[in-house]
Each structure stands twice: as C-alpha cells, then as structure tokens.
Amino acid sequence: MSCLNNIKQTLREENVDGFLITSAVNIRYVTNFTGSESILLITPGCDYLFTDFRYVEQARQDIPWIKIVEKKISLMRTICGKLKRLKIKKLYVESLYLTVYQYREIIGNKEGIRIIPTQGIVERYRKRKTYQELEKIRTAIKIAEKAYAGTREKIKAGLSEKQIADFLEYEIRNQGGEKSSFEIICAAGQRASLPHARATERIIQGKEAVLIDWGVCFQFYNSDLTRVRFVDRISPAYKKIYQIVLDAQCFAIDRIKPGRKASDVDSAARSYIEKKGYAKCFGHGVGHGIGLEVHEGPTINSRSKEILEESMVFTVEPGIYIPGWGGVRIEDMVLITSSGCEVLSQVPKKIKEIAV
C-alpha cells in the first residue's frame, strides 16, 4: 500500500489527474491482484481496476479497497468512458508497456487529453525488497538448490541435455516450486559457449562440461542460478577458465555495498577477465535485479548509472564463452545489507565440488 500511496502523492504534487498502469507485473506489485487481462487507473482520489468477467469476483476478494470496473464492449473503451467521466486531462502512462492500439484508443476517444509517457515510477519501488518479498525469494532459492542437488548426481555421459533439463524441471515441482522461472538452459561441451543455449537432444560425452542455468518461481518471486558440472575429470584448460570466472565473481561480490556504483561491481569482474586475456569472451553484464521478474532493476553492467542501496537483490554472473570450445558461467544471487552483501545462494562451486 505504501507504493500506491506514494504514487497518489506524486500525482498531487505534479498536478496530474491519473496514472494508467498497463504492466501486469506492476499491477501485481501495487495492488497484490494476481489476475491478468487487467489495467489499473490510479487517481489522487479513487483507484479503478478494469477487468473482464473472469476476474471480477477474484478482484473484489483480492483488492476490496479498489473500485472494480467490468468491461462492457472492450477494455479500452470502458477505460476511455471512465476517463471522460472523471474529466481527466493529464494522464501518466507506462511508455514501455502501453501499446500503440491502446494509445490510439485513448486519444481517439478522449478529446483534449494529454498523455505523458513515464518510465520507472513503479519499478523504482520494486528495486528494494521488503521483508515479505525477501522471504519469498529465499524460498525460491532454497527450492532451486534442492532441485539441483537432486539432479546433479544424475548428470553423466550418455544422457541428453534435454533429459537433464527435464529431470531438473521435475525436481523443481517436486520440491515445491510453482514452475521454472524461465526455460532451463542445459548446454554440454562446445554448446556451453552459447550463453542462452536451449537444451537439445545432444548426448553428453565423457570429459565434457555441462552448463546449467535454472530458476524457480515461488508465489510470483523468482530465483536464478548457474553452475557448471564436469563429467569425469576436469581438463587443465577448463580448470584454468573456471578458476578465472570464479575469481572474477569473488572480486565482484567483494565490491558490493550500499552507496557503490553498480558499474563498479561489473568492472571488478570484467577488468579481471580482461587482465587474463578474455575480454572478448565476456559480452554481457555481470548481473541483473530479480524479483517479480527474472530481469528487473537494478541494472548491473558497465553502463549502469545505478547506485546500490540496502535491500536490493541481484545476480552476479560473470562468464567466459569461447566459440568452438565451450564456456563457463557462475551465477549467484546477493542481497545488499547495511554494511555489504549477503550471498543468498549456496550451491557448491569450488573446483573439487563440481566434478561428477
């Protein structure tokens, strides 16, 4: 409710008549409503959720303090009718989520309205997690850890990438997860050079590395982890690359504390990887915020302008990817505390712990 009240206060201060939220995730964050096919209108006075018959009863149960408006002809025409009756002249919209169709419906059916594009009004609140959010994230991580623990010993030569991914998916549900946060990445051998490789029917060979990136959704909150598992012994070449990535991750984690620039965290890992001669093999940011969405604020890369704050949660995931050879990525989730950070995930990652 504090986010909703803060938004209403912003509207009053900026003399804006309303804020139309079309992102389902942002609606969920602001109101706790878990349905879909809905749009939220916040005004300095009353607030309105526009939805259809399927969600009316649920909405009245979930958010009784918000007026529920059932669509009659179309959702947008119903909204435009309300905008007219409320005499709204200045309307904030989410520029990243309002469609061209929705925009045209509003300007075509509400004469004299001024649409003001905005970004990040709700997202800035989502960056810092509440205690309740953190508890759900911690649970999503624990389930992911248990699911991987039940899977990693099954990784062996002769199985396909897809078989491993399918078993991990089963374990996620078996351990209490609602679903995977995203399509599980399982890439063996040379295919591990593809940062977002899809699991295929490719058979895992002896002495190969298997990169697995997985996450769990629990009560709408997500986890995201990556580990590399080696079949049989680890080759000297892979041991070298793996240790570089592991050290880079440690350097990045050591840089995390409130008040620091997010770009400094990226730089700590990136500069070390560059120093070791693999600058061209690390092309993505070192991390990303995670919560209701797998990728959300804060942004953790070399271009980020973010300043780290207590209660932010994000991943730290440096990697080295060499086409035709393979790749390594190690990913953990961290929470910024008052004095530094807490590594939330505890899946084994030392070299002696990752061989089959």
Return d(Cα 229, Cα 250) in angstroms, integer: 19
Q: How would you write 299-324 as a 3-class SS string? A: EECCCCCCECCCCEEEEECCEEEECC
Co-location of 198 and 322 in the same domain = yes
Co-location of 95 and 207 in the same domain = no
Output the tens digit of pLDDT for each of the chain's 356 residues: 589 999 999 999 999 999 999 999 999 999 999 988 899 999 999 999 999 999 999 999 999 999 999 998 899 999 999 999 999 999 999 999 999 999 999 999 888 999 999 999 999 999 999 999 999 999 999 999 999 999 998 999 999 999 999 999 999 999 999 999 999 999 999 999 999 999 999 999 998 999 999 999 999 999 999 999 999 889 999 999 999 999 999 999 999 999 999 999 999 999 999 999 999 999 999 999 999 999 999 999 999 999 999 999 999 999 999 999 999 999 999 999 999 999 999 999 999 888 76
Please choose, from the candidates 123, 129, 124, the residue with its C-alpha nearest in 3D space to the C-alpha of residue 313: 129
pTM (two decimals): 0.95
CATH of residue 257? 3.90.230.10
- Looking at 111, 126, 141, which one is the last position of a domain? 126
- Looking at 64, 96, 126, which one is the last position of a domain? 126
Co-location of 114 and 165 in the same domain = no
Strand 225-230 vs strand 209-214: parallel, antiparallel, or unpaired?
Answer: antiparallel
- Looking at 126, 160, 193, which one is the last position of a domain? 126
What are 46-51's contacts with CB under 8 Å, separation 24+?
A: 47/4, 47/8, 48/82, 50/75, 50/78, 50/79, 50/82, 51/75
Co-location of 182 and 329 in the same domain = yes
Range(s) of the domain holding residue 144: 131-353
Co-location of 165 and 299 in the same domain = yes
Co-location of 246 and 313 in the same domain = yes
Co-location of 176 and 310 in the same domain = yes
Co-location of 109 and 246 in the same domain = no
CATH of residue 27? 3.40.350.10
Co-location of 182 and 302 in the same domain = yes
Co-location of 162 and 19 in the same domain = no
- Total tally of structural domains belonging to the chain: 2
